[in-house]
Amino acid sequence: MTSEELLTVLAAVGHAQRLRVIAEVAGGRTYVSELARRLGISRPLLYMHLERLEKAGLVVGSLELSKSGKALKYFELAPFDLRVNAETITAAVAADAEGTDSDVKGNPT
């Protein structure tokens, strides 16, 4: 994991609104407009946050058609469990310095 990837997740999660979004989505899948109402924020704003969370791989969205024919964009939580400690961070920063060699270390024994 490069520091850029790590940063994408950390920066995504390092914001009050997005923390609330995650908490809400963790309670069950919802569609955007409904979520915006629940959180009391504007839909475009929520949209931006969801985009960022999705890019970080924390939530996944899917456009679905209700049986009434209306298009609803549902979001649900993606399984994630990131460890933030000195080891994770130094490894990520070191991965940058390694240049092109991505140095896959799934099991740093």
Partner DNA sequence: GGCACGTGTAAGTCTTAACTTACATACTTC
Partner DNA sequence: GAAGTATGTAAGTTAAGACTTACACGTGCC
CB of 4 to a second copy, least distance (A): 8
d(CA 75, CA 18): 13
**Where on the phi/psi map is residue 49: left (φ > 0), alpha (ψ -120 to 50), or beta?**
alpha
* Interface with a second copy, residue 48, by CB under 8 A: no
* Interface with DNA, residue 42, by CB under 7 A: yes
What dihedral angle (degrees, nearest 10) is formed by the CA atoms of 28, 32, 36, 42? 160
d(CA 75, CA 72): 10
The contact pattern for DNA, residues 53-82, with x = CB under 7 A and - = no contact, is: ----------x----xxxxxx---------
Q: Which of residues 57-86 bind a second copy (CB under 8 A)?
A: 77, 79-86
CB of 54 to a second copy, least distance (A): 15
Binding site for DNA (CB under 7 A): 11, 15, 17, 31-34, 41-45, 47-49, 52, 63, 68-73
